[in-house]
Chains A and B, each alone.
Chain A
């Protein structure tokens, strides 16, 4: 067992883990962060996407021990503390960017990462930006709309300053 300490959605947790424990299993089973889910074995589906030190990663392809000392943000940590949704969460709702919702946490986390890098993506850029996330329900069109709508809102609300990673920068 190895001692690991990480800050997840603003709270620091210290635990003993087996080195083989995947970050996603640590989040779900030790920390109760069940909003992040597992969809495959091969790093293809992206359902488990979280932010590790501000960057989107597939938490099924990171060991918990590798996240020692890191800052992890999950789908449960992106809304404002008061409950106001992140613009990307809002846009997924508004544009019907989800059906069963299983891919949604990963899809939202990947989309936020994309928008940080490219605040005004074209249709094709959104599609490429979320190529690592599979959805079986939506055919993606409304997800693409949602990401573009969120981009618009984030641009108008941040007015030139980059929105901080974990806050929702509401208009």
Chain B
């Protein structure tokens, strides 16, 4: 862009790249928020859910008479009562044509398939009355054997999770590079290989554990319904609810007000959302449901849960020759929105940044009597990254090579971009060497290696290890045609609209619905630059299907890359429309106009200029505008990317391991990420930090544990360990910038990077600390007990005892399913 010739005008500082403080904060730091649970409507009723205490069983009888008679109770509905209306929770990603979907009732009708599954709902005049009546519903279950272990579940004579299916396998998904034409024959490559390393990794079950529990309020207005929900996906929810319940889409408005985190966990069509809508329709009254934390941990979808069998082949010099991955992926009891697609999405990321000539991926989706899995931050990519970054370390050990040297020998060189991988993806840009060099400096690599040597030599009880993860991910979900080729049920475009208000203020409407990411701030920066208007003059609207009428919401590090681009494209259209008006009002030829810093000026005519904000007023008045155009400079745009974007980075963890107790402690953590153009460095850094915390938590703290009966042992925050500030280290972060060529912003996406990259770096670091003691694997999370066992007894640390801690007298799921328990004999408290 050339500068205007008007000497009075100087170039305005660009917004993109500025560490703008967030617009969102004003309400969040003062408590003036709009969480769904804050909502109170006249006549509003409260819903509670009676949940199954058994993992697998037939419902032989339900007696709701006592609950119906309880004070304040308005109605009780069982699964049978709503069987004709409730349909099935939708699954939008049938990854194979013959995938088995057993159907997913919102309330169980004949059979329950996981602890916590809803069997009835209480509708009452107060939250307390609804809670009290849960215990009055008498349900008899005829127990069936629970299916809990994937490796058992796929055996020929296994008990079935669903008796109307042939097996516990939902689907068998294969990607074979040889067949796809993107690689050579994998079996042959393994047959010819000089070195083969095979490992079985367990990527444990996790719980997204967003801080705001799920909540939904439905208000009926005639045959229209408004739903407020703590969801990441109001647009998807609206479409899906319409198809499930038969409420026509245009009669349904979905609003996601302030939403307290999601991480994929609120990328769902929840049974309770469906039921609340059905109940509001039946009773004609507003209905609210807000879950407790115990309900959330037990019934909101979980993530990860794969058993990974990984084989890698190379020559003696460490040139990788082939990769073969077989997965068992736990679906849980049912298929929710994208349950089957999560491991399939990961299929393309296992080869990572390495130049494998051959690759084969196979995955079995397996049913178990546990809550369904679905998207959790990274969705498929953390699992893949964990497997490849762990097996690269194992190969390095086998070859006697430095793990970084092995990586360097095989990764894509900076000059090779764009590079088409063996999985068929075209990586856009990057430089793995530079990121790695920066990360090594950031962490002080040489000193740490020296300290490690000293501790080894002195046989220090506290050993030090250093672990790497040189990762990439596919972001900017997603090119619609690619999604179509993968049988996904929707596209991956995003929509934006820009409304130029008469006073010159700007409303930006985005279909990408934020829940903590800072869209209001970042989109304002984009628009301020594009339109040359002040940052403060831009307001970003979102999360209400009546306002942001089109959208595909927020997940998969897509918002800036796809949604932000739609905003930029809409701004370009606004400028194009305004240009015609400007030419008319300035009595100049359009071609003679220059647009810079928010003003159209006539080339060669100093002083003749008009601000785009003035044009907004002019078209509002509409007294004088060109023939043949509409009196509006508003515009919208829908952007569909043609490729994914590929952030990458190098993460290094230095870990202390107390060999006496098995306690691990991160000494230092450094990472250098390339997420393309950085619109707001503050937000980018925050996203990396948060991702690191979750990725580290997978490595060290979190696991959803079920006991032998299928009860979730980690049913409260007492046992499901979300780390606190005191449990996490300081992070040293840095960036390299290689613009993404696939979008005009140049951004690649940052929401999942830290979460995807960090987990294997942490585990590799712990192993590096104790490898000389004969340890070659430790199962996640690296509990002190597992680390201690691996050091002193061999193996990978083994299974954990399934009993919950005795805190609060054993606060496991049994107490939270609504089943009355004998009063404990507590004498006091802490």
Contact = CB atoms under 8 A, between A and B. Distances in A.
Q: Do chains A and B touch in the complex (CB under 8 A)?
A: yes
Interface of A: 18, 20, 25, 28-29, 33-42, 44-45, 47, 74-76, 79, 85, 89, 92-94, 96, 98-105, 108, 123-124, 126-128, 130-144
A123 B825 CA distance: 41
Contacts of B730: 123, 141
A122 B31 CA distance: 27
Given A39-B212, A105-B31, A136-B694, 15 more contacts: A35-B32, A40-B716, A41-B293, A41-B816, A45-B293, A45-B722, A96-B683, A100-B212, A102-B260, A123-B730, A138-B689, A138-B693, A139-B686, A140-B689, A140-B728
29 contacts: A35-B30, A35-B31, A37-B212, A41-B293, A41-B294, A44-B716, A44-B717, A45-B717, A45-B722, A75-B30, A93-B21, A93-B25, A96-B682, A96-B683, A96-B686, A99-B261, A100-B210, A100-B261, A101-B33, A103-B211, A130-B725, A131-B725, A133-B725, A135-B725, A136-B690, A139-B689, A140-B724, A141-B730, A142-B689
Interface string B238-278: 00000000000000000000111101000000000000000
B692 interface: yes
B30 A101 contact: no
Interface centre among A25, A127, A133, A143 (most CB of B within 10 A): A127
B211 A39 contact: yes
Interface string B535-550: 0000000000000000
Given A40-B293, A123-B730, A130-B725, A104 B689 contact: no
A89 B37 CA distance: 23
B29 A89 contact: yes
Contacts of B25: 92-93, 98, 101
B543 to A, nearest CB: 13
A134 B722 contact: yes
Interface centre among B128, B210, B690 (most CB of A within 10 A): B690
Contacts of A79: 30
Contact of A96 (B517, B685, B691, B811): B685
B726 A42 contact: no
A18 B131 CA distance: 15
A123 B728 CA distance: 12
Contacts of A103: 211
Contacts of B292: 41
Interface residues of B, number: 58
A47 B724 CA distance: 13
A132 B516 CA distance: 22
Interface centre among A35, A101, A135 (most CB of B within 10 A): A101
Contacts of A108: 29
B24 interface: yes
A161 to B, nearest CB: 25
A100 B261 CA distance: 5
B786 interface: no
Contacts of B622: none
Contact of B728 (A76, A85, A102, A139): A139
Contacts of B816: 41
Given A92-B25, A93-B22, A39 B293 contact: yes
B29 A85 contact: yes
B12 interface: no
A143 B724 CA distance: 11
Interface string B12-39: 0000000001101111111111010110
B29 A136 contact: no
A94 B38 CA distance: 27
A101 B24 CA distance: 9
Contacts of B693: 136, 138-140
B127 to A, nearest CB: 8
B515 to A, nearest CB: 6
A99 B213 contact: no
B716 A20 contact: no
Nearest to B680: A96
B100 interface: no
A47 B37 CA distance: 14
Interface centre among B22, B31, B516 (most CB of A within 10 A): B31
A34 B33 contact: yes
B621 to A, nearest CB: 36
Contacts of A41: 292-294, 716, 816
Contacts of B722: 45, 134, 136
Contacts of B30: 35, 75-76, 79, 85, 89
Nearest to A35: B31
B718 interface: yes
Contacts of A37: 33, 35, 37, 212, 260
Contacts of A126: 725
B725 A99 contact: no
B690 A131 contact: no
A63 to B, nearest CB: 13
Nearest to B692: A139
Contacts of B724: 127, 130-134, 140
B726 A94 contact: no
Nearest to A137: B690
B261 A92 contact: no
Contacts of A75: 29-31
B207 to A, nearest CB: 11
Nearest to A133: B724
B29 A92 contact: yes
A134 B297 CA distance: 15
B116 to A, nearest CB: 14
Contacts of B293: 39-42, 45
A34 B38 contact: yes
Contacts of A101: 24-25, 27-29, 33, 258, 260, 516
Closest 5 CB pairs of A and B: A35-B31, A100-B516, A101-B28, A102-B260, A139-B689
B689 to A, nearest CB: 3
Interface string B654-666: 0000000000000
Contacts of A39: 211-213, 293
B808 interface: yes
Interface string B685-714: 110011111100000000000000000000
Interface in B182-200: none
Contacts of A38: 37, 213
B289 to A, nearest CB: 14
A131 to B, nearest CB: 4
B731 interface: yes
Contacts of A134: 211, 717, 722, 724
Contacts of A140: 689, 693, 724-725, 728
B161 interface: no
Contact of B516 (A36, A89, A99, A105): A99
B208 to A, nearest CB: 8
B333 interface: no
Nearest to A134: B722
A137 B516 contact: yes
A102 B261 contact: yes
B690 A138 contact: yes
A141 B689 contact: yes
Nearest to B259: A100
A143 B816 CA distance: 32
A94 B689 CA distance: 16
Contacts of B682: 96
B103 to A, nearest CB: 31
Contacts of A132: 724
B111 to A, nearest CB: 28
A61 B517 CA distance: 31
B671 to A, nearest CB: 12
A34 B212 CA distance: 13
Interface in B342-366: none
B178 interface: no
B734 interface: no
Contacts of A141: 689, 730-731
B725 A136 contact: no
A86 to B, nearest CB: 9
Nearest to B729: A141
